[in-house]
Amino acid sequence: MINDTNIPSTLMEVNHLSIDYVTPGRPPAHAVEDVTLTLREGEVLGLVGESGCGKTTLMLSLMRLLPAAGRIVGGEVNFMGTDLLNLSETDIADVRWKRISMIFQGAMNALNPVRTVGDQISEAITQHIPMNDKTALDNRVGELLDLVGIAPHRKVEYPHQYSGGMRQRAMIAMALACTPQVVIADEPTTALDVMIQAQILELLQTLQQKLGLAIILVTHDLGLVAEMCDSVLVMYGGVTAEYSDVDTIFNEPKHPYTQELLKAFPDLSNPRETLASIPGYPPRLDALPPGCRFAPRCPAVFDRCHVEQPDIHAVTPTHYTSCHLVENS
Amino acid sequence: MNRSRVLARRIAWALFTLLFVVVLNFFLFRVLPGDPARAGIRDPRLTREAQEAIRVRFGLDKPVINCFESLNPVKLGSCEVNPFETQFFIYIGNLLKGDLGISYHLNQPVADILRARLWNTVLLIGAGQILAIILGMGLGIAAAWKARTAIDYLALLGSLMAWSLPTFWLGIILLFWGSTDLGLPIGGKLTAGGSATNMVDEWIDLGRHMILPTLTYTIVFLGEYMLIMRSTLLDVLSEDYILTAKAKGLSTFQILKDHALQNAMLPMVTLIALNLGFTVAGAIQIESVFSWPGLGGAIYEAVVRRDYPMLQGAFLWIAIAVIAANLIADLLYSTLDPRVEAG
Ligand SMILES: Nc1ncnc2c1ncn2[C@@H]1O[C@H](COP(=O)(O)OP(=O)(O)OP(=O)(O)O)[C@@H](O)[C@H]1O
Ligand SMILES: [Mg+2]
């Protein structure tokens, strides 16, 4: 949807995906509702939104990794021609990691403490690619570690012998082990210090360009989005607020939430400007307002917003937003 | 890496603990009131000479240790005596020779009595523990795997019940049922005046005697193993690295086998080792219900008879078992968990 049709082909299409969390004895929480997005080969898609707006939920559902309480209640995830939501357990297991891999939010504990890092990377490879040659496998693991700047001989070490940044890089190496088409990076640098954050993001960016990966980058850092992403999906309270290419989002945001987010983001070219923050709290997902989810906090709110939920509206063929203001104009 | 150093340190610690226990064990029984001439053999008809002869026989005529004639009542003595002529060093010397003294009551070497008893206990507890561990862990794994399904709830209910059953009561019920409905022997280790003419028959006879006490023991311990296994496994299954494993495309079976179990085994190893160590003391209740000639029965009898050498010997065995079990647990733990080495 970002470029004209002839260039890179579509990898993944998410259509009208909705996810509930069900807790017995409570109304279901509509964590994600009617999200549609497209990912092309080599594209970097940024996913932004306040804490709790459903970013991780959406990402986990793409690999069918939702926790037991999570239910996909509608929509489809079309990946290279197949709907992942209809695959059998064994078929989805083949897609996981080989086609789509994920760097988890807070990946600090994402490695098994009682097995060596190298062993865990080998496992990811052999799970999908039959490799009888032990030395070839070892070499491949060494190569992957080298790629993320870890000395190959450290593959025999255990996760506790790695620093936090190294563990994160080992996770990236593991995510690349089967050369997947898509890597989902869910806040890959939270809990790391600024220097390491920069290193890791630079690494991701280099690898993305070198390997032509498509990446979905979940982040709170709009600076990073501006620098790395081709397109941006802004989520608010489980729904799409705005979705377009990065220039449009930054220069012509239509949704008041996007506008507020951008105001909250310190402008590097104008450091004197005070940082705005959005007053109020995101909605409770099990007791949503009847109209627009953003209405209680929206500076441009009007009567209709309180009674009717806005549909997703195409401003241009590559720019979508769900706001009554846009529909009206 | 420094695995051998860790190993050496652990073994050194175990030996040091053992030494401490040996010394403590000696003094504990000297501080307690009475010697066989007064406490063990309470027969007013004994003449002074006879009492003196008994004291000599049990080595109680010697000073306890340099400077102390006896510790209860405290009686100071010469510090100049040859240390090897004191009770303490004679005790140590005898220990090194495997001699635990003579039972006041049975008038036989303690080491011989205990050895036979110990093997009986090891036989019974070994069989019971192995069964309890295998079944308990198996059930725990199944319950955690099928968490919040009928299988889980049934296993949970069964284990809680097994855990809360009073051992003594369960033993008697099983004894009653087994001896009437199944025709199993009501107690002991072998049929008295054994009709067994060859090895095979003798083994079968032993097996029949073991069924009920082993079953009791298994049921009593199975519940605990199941519950701990289930809850640790559930904890482990909620860890981030399990989600990673799933994302890597591993099946539930692979996740359990290759990622969850090793982590879940860590608390289990400690639990098993502690149980094993302490139950060498004999499942006293089970042994008494089934008249099993084990260590537990021997201890009970020794307490009743104030047979200090027997008790002293038994305590030493128990201490050795606990220390050894802990050492094994430590070593096993450090092979299961690489993080232990660092600490
Ligand atoms: N297992 C669960 N059971 C019930 N509700 C859940 C569960 N996991 C998440 N939620 C709810 O779903 C909503 C979305 O959570 P999610 O983790 O997707 O947010 P997020 O956008 O990733 O937030 P963050 O930026 O903090 O990571 C939250 O309101 C959360 O409370
Ligand atoms: Mg998240």
| Nearest-angstrom CA–CA distance, A20 and A46 | 23
From A128, which residue of chain B is nearest by alpha-carbon distance? B249
CB contact under 8 A, A94 and B249: yes
In the predicted model, what is the mean pLDDT of residues B21-32? 87
For residue B257, being part of any structural domain is answered with yes
The domains of chain A are located at 10-86+219-328
| Chain B interface includes A115 (CB < 8 A) | yes
CATH assignment of the domain containing B286: 1.10.3720.10
pLDDT digits (tens, 9 = 90+) for B45-80: 777 787 788 778 777 788 888 888 878 778 888 888
Helix B110-145 / helix B308-336 crossing angle, nearest 10 deg: 40
- Enumerate the β-bridge partners of residue A30: A20
Checking if the pLDDT of B42 tops 90, the result is no
Q: Kindly state whether residue B237 falls inside one of the protein's structural domains.
A: yes
Going by CA atoms, what residue is nearest to atom 12 of ligand 1?
A31
Can you read off the two tokens belonging to residue B321?
């078992």
Structural domain count, chain B: 1
pLDDT in tens, A143-175: 999 988 899 999 999 999 999 889 989 999 999
Q: How far is CA B303 from CA A69, A103, B71, B292, B331, in A?
A: 58, 64, 21, 17, 35
In the reported structure, the alpha carbon of residue A73 is separated from the centroid of ligand 1 by a whole-number distance in angstroms of: 16
A82-132 pLDDT, tens digit per residue, is 999 999 999 999 999 999 999 998 767 899 999 999 999 999 999 999 988
Q: What percentage of chain B carries pLDDT values higher than 70?
A: 93
pLDDT tier, B194 (very low <50, low <70, confident <90, very high otherwise): low
pLDDT digits (tens, 9 = 90+) for A45-65: 999 998 899 999 999 999 999
Its domain, for residue B257, covers: 111-342
pLDDT higher than threshold 50 for residue B34: yes
B41 belongs to a structural domain: no
Nearest to A110 among B244, B250, B251 (CB): B244
Q: How many residues does chain B have?
A: 343
pLDDT in tens, B128-176: 999 999 999 999 999 999 888 999 999 999 999 988 888 889 989 998 8
pLDDT, tens digit, 9 for 90 and up, residues B311-337:
889 889 888 888 998 898 888 888 888
Mutate to test the interface with A, among B241, B254, B263, B266 (most CBs of A within 10 A): B241
A109 touches chain B (CB under 8 A): yes
Ligand nearest to the CA of A185: 2
Q: B12 in a domain, yes or no? A: no
Q: Which residue spans within chain A are E strands per DSSP?
A: 10-21, 29-40, 44-48, 70-79, 82-83, 100-103, 182-186, 214-218, 231-236, 239-245, 313-316, 319-321
pLDDT band for position B342 (cuts 50, 70, 90) = very low
What CATH number is given for A10-86+219-328 in this structure? 3.40.50.300
Note whether A127 contacts B248, CB cutoff 8 Å.
yes
Q: Which of A213, A214, A234, A212 is nearest to A222 (CA)?
A: A234
Confidence (pTM):
0.84
ipTM of this predicted structure: 0.90
In this prediction, residue A1 carries a pLDDT of 44
Is residue B250, in this structure, part of any structural domain at all? yes
Are A241 and A294 in contact by the 8 Å Cβ rule? The answer is: yes
Instruction: Tell me if B288 is assigned to some domain.
Output: yes
Question: Which numbered ligand comes closest to the C-alpha of A281?
Answer: 1
Question: Of B240, B247, B339, which has the smallest distance from its Cβ to A160's Cβ?
Answer: B339
For residue A252, pLDDT over 80 is answered with: yes
